[in-house]
Structure 1
Amino acid sequence: MTRNQILSDINQIFIDTLDREDLVIEETTQATDIDEWDSLMHVLLVDEIEKHFKVRFKASEIQNWKNVGEIIDSISAESQFA
């Protein structure tokens, strides 16, 4: 799976979880860019991403993410999609 495919899947997860059909996620997207992406929503997004990609992230890894690109990096490193 390519980075673009992973990004596309993440974008759909964000749309579904945040209930925002108009949302377009990019690798540079950060939590501060999306009003609905608060700490509770972050937990839900991580849970949905882990389920979708069949991965488990370490808490320290999750806390260090600065943008969606870093989430993609973690998915690539932790999964069969690398």
Structure 2
Amino acid sequence: MQEGQIYERLNVIFGDVFDDDSLALKAETTADDVDGWDSLSHIRLVLSVEKAFSVKFSAAEVGKLKNVGELVGLIQSKI
């Protein structure tokens, strides 16, 4: 799966989790850039991403992520 396709799917997932279809993710996007991105929504987001891409992340992998670009890289490494 190409990076652009991953971003397309992530935009839909983020829109669902944060109830905001206007989000436009970039590699530099962080939790500070998204209204409502707290610890609970972070868990919902990770579970939604795992389900959508049929992957599993360890707690250590998730804890190291600094932005959406790193999430995309992690997804690419798993599929």
Q: Which residue of 1 aligns with 2:43?
A: 43
In structure 1, list runs of 5 or more residues that go unmatched.
none
TM-score, length of structure 1 as denominator length:
0.92
**Alpha-carbon RMSD:** 0.7
Q: Which residue of 2 aligns with 1:25?
A: 25
TM-score, length of structure 2 as denominator length:
0.95
Shift of 1:22: 1.3
Shift of 1:57: 0.4
Q: Tell me the amino acid that sits aligned with residue 8 of structure 1.
A: E
- Structure 1 segments (4+ residues) deviating >2 Å: none
Q: Which residue of 2 aligns with 1:66?
A: 66
Q: Which residue of 2 aligns with 1:3?
A: 3
Give the number of aligned pairs: 79
Contact 2:18 2:35 survives alignment (8 Å): no
User: Is 1:12 equivalent to 2:2 in the alignment?
Assistant: no
SS of residue paired to 2:4:
helix
Q: Distance in 1 between matches of 2:75 and 2:21?
A: 24
Q: Distance in 2 between matches of 1:38 and 1:22?
A: 19
